[in-house]
Amino acid sequence: MPVTDASTQASAHAPPAAPLLDIRALSVDYLSRKGAVRAVDRISLSVGPSEIVGIAGESGCGKSTFAQAALRILPPPAVITHGQVIFEGQDLLTKDDEALRRLRWKRVSMVFQSALESLHPTLTIGAQLRDVLDEHTQLSRAEKDARLVEVLRLVDLDPGLRHQHAHQLSGGMRQRVGIAQALLLQPSLLVLDEPTTALDVMVEHAILQKLLELQRARAFSVLFITHDLSRMLQVSDRVAIFYAGELIELAPAPALRTAPKHPYTQALLRAFPSLHGDPTKLAAIPGAPPSLRTPPPGCRFAPRCPIAIDRCETERPALVQLGAGHSAACHLAK
Ligand code: SF4
C-alpha cells in the first residue's frame, strides 16, 4: 500500500530561486576533551515555498545534527562553527533567544521521532497544546478550545483525547499529537526528524499519507529527515544524501531514484526495498562509515567504494553540478 507519491507528480524540481529556508555552508562541531569532532561539514541546502526536501543517510551521518543546528535547538557540546541559516530573509544564527522563541511553533515547527519524549508526562494533551496558543496568540479561551478541537480533527484524532495524558495514547496517536502541535499555529516550515521510525508499517503509512494530504492542502514547506530512502523518495520533491557529515548528492527525487550519480547513493538504493520491488534482492553496504574524529583524507566513502581509484584516497571530491538540479561529490560521477 504505497503512500501517494509526491515526486512522480512533480516536474523535475530545480532548487528554488527564492527559498524559504536557505542553509549556507553550515558546520557543526562536537567538543570534547579529546578535541573537536566535525559532525556537519559546510553543508548548504535550501527548501522552497511548498517544497518537500528530504535528507537521507545512515545513522550518524549528520542529518539530525544539521536540522537541529539550523533551528538552533542543538544542545552543547555541539557548536555551530560556520555558516548562515536564512529563514524568511533573516539569519537565524544571529537571532537572540527571544526572537527565536517567537519564530518557533509560529513560523517553523519540528516533529521528533519519539513524541512520548517531547510531550509532557503530567499535563493533558489539551493543556500542552493550549500552552503553545497562550504563548503565541491573543485568542480567547473559547477560541483556543475551538482551535484545539480543529487541529486534533485535522490529524484524525478524537478531540476528546485532549483530556488525556501522553502515556494513555498509542505510539501512533502520540505522533499525531506531535504533528497537531506542530501545525497549531500554521507555520510555513515543518521539520520532521524521523517522525514515523518508531511506528509499525501500517501506522507509519497512515501518518505519512495524512502529512502529505495536509502539506498539499496548506502548502507549507517540509524538511523531512529519515534513514529510509524508499519512503523519502516517495514523499520528497528533492532529496539530499548525507555521508559522514557531508552532502554527497542532491537531486530531484525522480532523478535520484532512476539515475543516482554517487556510488554511495547507488548502494543505499540497493540496500532499501523499493515499495514495488523484490525484497529478496537487497544488498547491504559492506563496511561502516568512518570515524568523524579521524575521517579519511580523500573521499570519505573510499574505504567502502567498489570503484575507488588512487586519487580518491587523497583528494576530497567537491560537490559539482552534473544535471538539472542534480549534483554529486564523486571524482568519477558524470
Ligand atoms: Fe568512490 Fe572515488 Fe567517487 Fe569516492 S570519489 S565515491 S571513492 S569513486
- pLDDT in the model for residue 228: 81
Ligand 1, atom 5: closest residue by C-alpha: 330
Q: What are phi and psi of 25, to 5 degrees?
A: 45, 50
Report the nearest atom of ligand 1 relative to the CA of 309.
2
Question: Hunting for cell 558546520 — which residue is that?
Answer: 27
Whether the CB-CB separation of 174 and 120 falls below 8 Å is answered with no
Q: In whole angstroms, what separates CA 105 from the centre of its chain?
A: 16
Instruction: Report the chain's terminal Cα–Cα distance, integer Å.
Output: 35
Q: What are phi and psi of 70, to 5 degrees?
A: -60, -35
Ligand 1, atom 3: closest residue by C-alpha: 330
Whether the CB-CB separation of 243 and 317 falls below 8 Å is answered with no
Task: Decide: 301 in ligand 1 pocket, CB within 6 A.
Answer: yes
Task: Decide: 302 in ligand 1 pocket, CB within 6 A.
Answer: yes
Ligand 1, atom 8: closest residue by C-alpha: 308
Report the nearest atom of ligand 1 relative to the CA of 299.
4
Gap from CA of 314 to ligand 1 centroid (Å): 11
Task: Decide: 299 in ligand 1 pocket, CB within 6 A.
Answer: yes
- pLDDT in the model for residue 136: 92
For the domain spanning 6-48+57-96+225-328, the CATH number is 3.40.50.300
Domain segments of the chain as ranges: 6-48+57-96+225-328
Element (H, E) at 88: none
Report the nearest atom of ligand 1 relative to the CA of 312.
2
Cβ atoms within 10 Å, residue 235: 24
- pLDDT in the model for residue 12: 47
Gap from CA of 65 to ligand 1 centroid (Å): 24
pLDDT tens across the length of the chain (334 residues): 445 444 444 344 667 778 999 999 999 999 998 889 999 999 999 999 999 999 999 988 999 999 999 999 999 999 999 999 999 999 999 999 999 999 999 999 998 776 656 788 899 999 999 999 999 999 999 999 999 999 999 888 999 999 999 999 988 888 889 989 999 999 999 999 988 776 778 878 888 888 899 999 999 999 999 888 888 898 999 999 999 999 999 999 999 999 999 999 999 998 876 655 555 566 788 889 999 999 999 999 999 999 999 999 999 999 999 999 999 999 999 9
Task: Decide: 312 in ligand 1 pocket, CB within 6 A.
Answer: yes
- pLDDT in the model for residue 229: 87
Report the nearest atom of ligand 1 relative to the CA of 300.
4
- pLDDT in the model for residue 303: 96
Task: Decide: 185 in ligand 1 pocket, CB within 6 A.
Answer: no
CA distances from 79 to 37, 38, 62, 137, 225 (A): 10, 10, 13, 32, 21
Nearest one of 192, 180, 223, 208 to 19, comparing CA atoms: 223
Say which DSSP state 152 is in.
Answer: H
- Whether the full predicted model's pTM is greater than 0.75, yes or no, is yes
Task: Decide: 332 in ligand 1 pocket, CB within 6 A.
Answer: yes
Task: Decide: 316 in ligand 1 pocket, CB within 6 A.
Answer: no
